[in-house]
Amino acid sequence: MSGIQAHMKIALVTGANKGIGREVARQLAAKGFHVFIGARNRSAGRKAADEIAKKGGKTAFLEIDVSDNNSVAVAAREFVKTSDHLDVLVNNAGIIVDGDHAILEIGDELLRKTLETNTLGALRVIRAFVPLLAKSKAPRVINVSSGGGQLTGGADGWSPAYCISKTALNGVTSQLAAALPKFAINSVCPGWVRTDMGGRSATRSVEEGADTIVWLASEAPQDLTGKFLRDRKEIPW
């Protein structure tokens, strides 16, 4: 693990071993951030951190399973061993569970598992890292949501548990923005992106999917908070 220079901003991206999370981490590292690659899979997380570092970025791997309270607590304790603050938290980790096909057919356990990661996972990571974010001059939190979570035109029958979890995540975002007025806390719809989750037929590249997230992490006004955005513009949810 390389040392963190005093002038560098620090970011933590969950689910950063692949897909949108990895691309967000890569772009932030290219912008001069020291990026913690958060992942529950040790080998995949370390590989992603090493590959970004080989291209000149400053990275560190942080093992974290957002669905597990103990894992998140341990991750926060590990984090403070190398950094005394956090500037940007990107809650990107998310799942779609097999069998998430029809709202009247999904069982309680499938819905709980989805909410545990996609909604409660983001909230528990924020709770654990708020003391570190509060030490930043401009703390920012970006929750990676989905257009499927929109109440207006969002539901089309696709993966209802996943979509419900993202609607709830937008609600978490709104509540946190009210509770933490000095923070910039927003949700993002990255669009339909060509990842393992989105599939090869998706209309957007990972670079396009990451764009608004990276913008919110690095360039957006600090007073932009409590919003749901796509392509750097507020959209209804």
Residues carrying an active site annotation: 162
Determine phi and psi for 118, rounding to 5 degrees: -75, -30
Sign of CA dihedral 48, 50, 52, 55: negative
- Contact present, 38 and 14 (Cβ < 8 Å): yes
